[in-house]
Structure 1
Amino acid sequence: MSLTRDLTRLIREKPVTDCDLEWASLFVLDTLGCALGALPTEPARMLKVVAPPAQTDTARKAFYLGGLAHILEMDDLHRDSVTHPGSVVIPAAWAVAHDHDLGGEAFLRAVLAGYEACCRVGTSVGKKHYRVWHNTSTCGPFGAAFAVAELLGLDDTRTVWALGNAGTQSSGLWEFLAEGAMSKHLHTARAAESGVIASFLAKEGFTGAQNILEGEKGFYAGLCPDPIPEAVTAGPERAWQLINTSIKPWPCCRHTHPAIDGAIALHNEIAGEAIARVHVGAYRAALDVCDRPIPEDPYSAKFSLQHTVAIALADGRVDQASFDADARQRMVGERKKVRVELAPSIDAAYPESWGAEVIVETASGRRFFAARHDAKGDPDNPVTAAELSQKARTQLVAGGTSQARADDLIGAILGLTDNCPVRSLGLFETAGDAPPQVHAARSA
């Protein structure tokens, strides 16, 4: 036996309820809202040039949609695995369901299975993997491949082959962040595409290593200094991993969200009083990725605890405009007041809990404190279905979709539980008819 074979059996033995399918439709709505909302951006224009959806094959459709979904930094996040499963699994499954004219129920079941594979593999890689490798990019191909395997009706052996060939394509390094490069969008695009190709090949009998995870020269040996192999199959009776995935309310790195949540609350308490200094306590991964005191572009500002906390304290909100040139210039002095440090108790709880503490001292000597064990949008502090729909509506309209079309699309996506054909939603037609470029921010 092998871990991928055990994982295949575990996923296929999990029961799927109507409630599970409804949850899946909500996450599909969130991901597609993120993707279509990104259409006016410069990275989206580039993706369309390379992979025009009306002219490409299924794998390149997944590439295009996967890249779009990650641009705005609003896509979902699974805490234990530190992955964004939606931006990889859903594009791959959508492209296949679209081109094979499959129904909504089969698609949603495949999404559940794909999240499960991505998140379980992601949870097994250990903390040190994330310091060099982008988990979404390395673990995402497993989720995309499994979702596609479900849609293609692959048997267990061919599914294991698909996972083996997905794993051997795993890649995605954090070095892009040092330069503010656009590679993060490529990570989700390629992970989605790789999963499609892996399962299409497996359908034809193209074999893949069944011990791709635990083998002597496999995934753990090459990429994971402290793997947790048992996490792949732990707790098979638990709820689907999709249900334990977080929705992002703010358009920036999820590691900044607990501190943003606390800072917005303190904005209301401080009531405009001048700030003397700010202390942010966080976990190690947040500091590794988001300790950026001088962000020089929208991209790096979205990965800056200093900037996100400063602007949340100043404005009481964080939105796309919070990262433009005017906002960054306005926060130059305020960012200098923000000191970020490791908080041992918060670090010890990570990744099960993504927390932060924010302490503000005002010029008059008053002191304010906020702590977050779970950020807004986490399973323990969830957004409502109405809030999620409003998020999607806002993104769709900002991306150039008319209000009427946005409302129709939201209803149709949530109606996938009634098994309407995926192709009938016309998503690629919408994505292919992007409006003229409105802004060129290099979002990430």
Structure 2
Amino acid sequence: MSVQSAEQVRNTSKTVADASLTEGLVKLIRGKPIAQADLDAAAMFTLDAIANILAGRNSEPGKVMLNWARSKGASNVAPDADRMAFLMGGLCHILETDDLHRESVVHPGCVVVPAAWALGEERYVSGRALLQSVLHGFEATTRVGMAVGAAHYRIWHNTATCGPYGSAMAAAALLGLTDEQTVDALGNAGSQSAGLWQFLETGAMTKHLHAGHAAEAGLKAAELAAFGFSGPPRILEGEKGFFRAACPDAVPSAVLADPDAPWQLLRTSIKPWPSCRHTHPAIDAAEELRVRLGACGEDAIRTIEVGTYQAALDVCDRPVATSDYEAKFSLQHAVAAALLYPKVDFAAFGAEARTRCAALALRVRIAAEEPYRSTYPRAWGSQVRVMLADGTELAAARTNAKGDPEAPLSSDDMVAKARMLLVHGGVREPERIIDGVLRLAANGALPELSLL
């Protein structure tokens, strides 16, 4: 009698009804057609992530991570893909200018692109193969994220917990894993899901660790699967799986819902401002009010009211910001900065700006209001109302923020953003990086980044 492998036993004993959510997710993703327009979009999102990675080096946490990476080996030896994915993931998430998928509340680019790029660079993959893996990774992490439920986000950081599924799916594509091996990879990636919001109390650097770990965990799980390392197929819906452990109001059916929808990468938003995405609809509205206020000075403003959704309050209700990072997670500071400064850029969250905005920020009152409370997370909206000392009231509202699919940045805007980030990161030839990444859609080779 011949001895069957574990994979053969699985295949012969399983019925369609027995298929796990993870198995269904793998088949859904691998069955989706990819058009040239999808590859073009994936190249643009890859450029955004790469620009964020290189810009993240010019920050205190980025310098810490680079010093750590340089301490791990000889300078003339390239780090392995796992460690490079960790470093790139952490750097990508530092400046708060990376992408955001609203329905899942996941930043897919800072997890998926680092894993795909690190592995792709190591294996000299083609541009199209890399972009296909990015589409697969975005799809996996956001579909899991759309199923976790609202309660999960109050304690857990979705990018950290859902990210490993995306990095594993992207790596599986580049490694040529079978469907069964990919299920193993996703199972072991999901078993490493972690990432808590506790760091917000002190502004610790932990959030960057979340993205780096998620990128590395999925990549490592996929590499192990290639060698036959098995994983739990019901990591999502199992009795001791992810949903049961960390998602009290999970919606498991969301993982496989609407399989013929466009790629979720196309439903992902690009950030125009360097702060938490929850602040962006209010920044957008406040910038309109700044123009309408004209020559009115700060002293003419009596109070400011911001209507938004509950998650924005949970993460960004911070009347006093004592650091750049706290300011990026402060609706009060963000609105004050948008009213006082002609441009909300990196400097708008620095020490000088915090001093300038402090008094006005204390006049900002925020509350969860309709319709924003009910439409979240499908739409991230906000209204800003400014009451002047003479009794005049001005208001501006946004159903969606600038950079959302409904209010997208143009290709020129996205390239300009990437150029700004690359210059901020000290890149000497930003056009080489921009052109090289965008050429991936035409099957160009990966451009050298010289990260370290």
Q: TM-score, normalised by structure 2?
A: 0.93
DSSP-derived class of the 1:175 partner: helix
DSSP-derived class of the 2:100 partner: coil
Structure with more relative contact order (C-alpha pairs < 8 Å, separation 6 or more): 1
DSSP-derived class of the 2:114 partner: helix
Question: Could you tell me which of 366, 373, 378 is aligned with 2:404?
Answer: 378
Using the alignment, how far apart are the partners of 1:27 and 1:399 within structure 2?
18
- Correspondence for 2:154: 131
- Correspondence for 2:14: none
- Correspondence for 1:304: 330
DSSP-derived class of the 1:64 partner: helix
Whether 1:426 aligns to 2:448 is: yes
Deviation at 1:205, TM superposition (A): 0.4
DSSP-derived class of the 2:315 partner: helix
- Correspondence for 2:101: 78
- Correspondence for 1:277: 303
Is 2:372–2:381's contact at 8 Å kept on the other side of the alignment?
yes
Deviation at 1:408, TM superposition (A): 1.5
- Correspondence for 2:365: 339
Is 1:51–1:63's contact at 8 Å kept on the other side of the alignment?
no
Give the letter aligned to residue 298 of structure 1: D
Give the letter aligned to residue 437 of structure 2: I
Percent same amino acid at aligned positions?
Answer: 50
Is 2:436–2:445's contact at 8 Å kept on the other side of the alignment?
no
- Please list the CA deviations of residues 359-402 of structure 1 after superposition, one character each: whole Å capped at 9, or x if unmatched: 00112221101010000000000000000000000110111112
- Correspondence for 1:201: 224
Question: Could you tell me which of 375, 380, 395 is aligned with 2:421?
Answer: 395
Give the letter aligned to residue 411 of structure 1: D
Whether 1:212 aligns to 2:219 is: no
- Correspondence for 1:361: 387
Give the letter aligned to residue 355 of structure 1: G
Deviation at 1:37, TM superposition (A): 1.2
Whether 1:253 aligns to 2:276 is: yes
Give the letter aligned to residue 141 of structure 2: C
Moved more, 307-316 or 82-91: 307-316
- Please list the CA deviations of residues 257-283 of structure 1 after superposition, one character each: whole Å capped at 9, or x if unmatched: 000000000000011312111000010
Moved more, 308-317 or 66-75: 308-317
Which consecutive residues of structure 2, in runs of 5 or more, have no partner in the other structure? 1-18
Is 2:286–2:335's contact at 8 Å kept on the other side of the alignment?
yes
Give the letter aligned to residue 41 of structure 1: S
Root-mean-square deviation (Å): 0.9
Q: TM-score, normalised by structure 1?
A: 0.95
Is 1:33–1:392's contact at 8 Å kept on the other side of the alignment?
yes
What are the equivalent positions in structure 2 for 1:148-187 lying under 5 Å apart? 148-187=171-210
Question: Could you tell me which of 306, 310, 317 is aligned with 1:291?
Answer: 317
Is 2:96–2:275's contact at 8 Å kept on the other side of the alignment?
yes
Give the letter aligned to residue 287 of structure 2: I
Whether 1:46 aligns to 2:64 is: yes
Which consecutive residues of structure 1, in runs of 5 or more, have no partner in the other structure? 433-444
Give the letter aligned to residue 38 of structure 1: G
Using the alignment, how far apart are the partners of 1:416 and 1:55 within structure 2?
23
Using the alignment, how far apart are the partners of 1:311 and 1:294 within structure 2?
13
- Correspondence for 1:262: 285
Using the alignment, how far apart are the partners of 1:114 and 1:390 within structure 2?
25
Aligned pair count reads 426
- Please list the CA deviations of residues 140-162 of structure 1 after superposition, one character each: whole Å capped at 9, or x if unmatched: 00000000000000000000000
Using the alignment, how far apart are the partners of 1:245 and 1:128 within structure 2?
22
Give the letter aligned to residue 212 of structure 2: A
Is 1:120–1:232's contact at 8 Å kept on the other side of the alignment?
yes
Using the alignment, how far apart are the partners of 1:363 and 1:315 within structure 2?
21
- Correspondence for 2:250: 227
Is 1:283–1:347's contact at 8 Å kept on the other side of the alignment?
yes
Using the alignment, how far apart are the partners of 2:265 and 2:78 within structure 1?
32
Using the alignment, how far apart are the partners of 2:173 and 2:408 within structure 1?
29
Deviation at 1:50, TM superposition (A): 2.2
DSSP-derived class of the 2:23 partner: helix
Using the alignment, how far apart are the partners of 1:336 and 1:363 within structure 2?
16
- Where in structure 1 do 4 or more consecutive aligned residues deviate above 2 Å? 49-55
Whether 1:406 aligns to 2:424 is: no
DSSP-derived class of the 1:371 partner: strand
Using the alignment, how far apart are the partners of 2:183 and 2:69 within structure 1?
28
DSSP-derived class of the 1:15 partner: coil
Using the alignment, how far apart are the partners of 1:364 and 1:407 within structure 2?
51
Using the alignment, how far apart are the partners of 2:343 and 2:311 within structure 1?
24
Deviation at 1:34, TM superposition (A): 0.9
DSSP-derived class of the 1:381 partner: coil
